[in-house]
């Protein structure tokens, strides 16, 4: 599945256009490598997304073309959350 679609379907990012913009700005990494919106995501991959003052790292658990809001969080497991300002972990 494309990275931008995964971010939207999993609800890590609410809109696919925003997910595409964030990816293309170099703020998303897959397994430690910078990723573009068209990059492929598969179960087991680790995604790191930088949101303003915070970074979130998740492990992809499953891929689904569509999902209900209450099931979206089952698509990934949060590994860590960090504040970019001080570098300290907030998990």
CA 72 vs CA 14, 49, 63, 69, 81: distances in Å: 11, 17, 10, 5, 18
**CATH number where 31 lies:** 3.10.290.10
Q: Let me know if residue 75 belongs to a domain.
A: yes
Q: Let me know if residue 22 belongs to a domain.
A: yes
pLDDT of residue 41 exceeding 50, the answer is yes
Average pLDDT, the chain: 90
Q: Let me know if residue 20 belongs to a domain.
A: yes
Q: Let me know if residue 11 belongs to a domain.
A: yes
Look up the domain containing 58 and give its range. 3-83
pTM (predicted TM-score): 0.85
Q: Let me know if residue 89 belongs to a domain.
A: no
Q: Which of 7, 10, 14, 67 is nearest to 37 (CA)?
A: 7
Confidence of residue 50 (pLDDT cuts 50, 70, 90): very high
Q: How many domains is the chain partitioned into structurally?
A: 1
Q: Let me know if residue 90 belongs to a domain.
A: no
Q: What are phi and psi of 76, to 5 degrees?
A: -150, 160
């Amino acid at each position: 599945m494309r990275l931008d679609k995964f971010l939207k379907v999993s609800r890590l990012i609410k809109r696919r256009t925003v997910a595409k913009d964030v990816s293309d700005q170099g703020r998303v990494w897959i397994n430690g490598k910078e990723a573009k919106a068209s990059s492929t995501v598969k179960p087991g991959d680790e995604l790191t997304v930088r949101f303003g003052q915070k970074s979130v790292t998740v492990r992809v658990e499953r891929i689904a073309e569509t999902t209900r809001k209450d099931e979206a969080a089952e698509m990934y497991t949060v590994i860590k959350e960090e504040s970019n300002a001080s570098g300290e972990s907030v998990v």
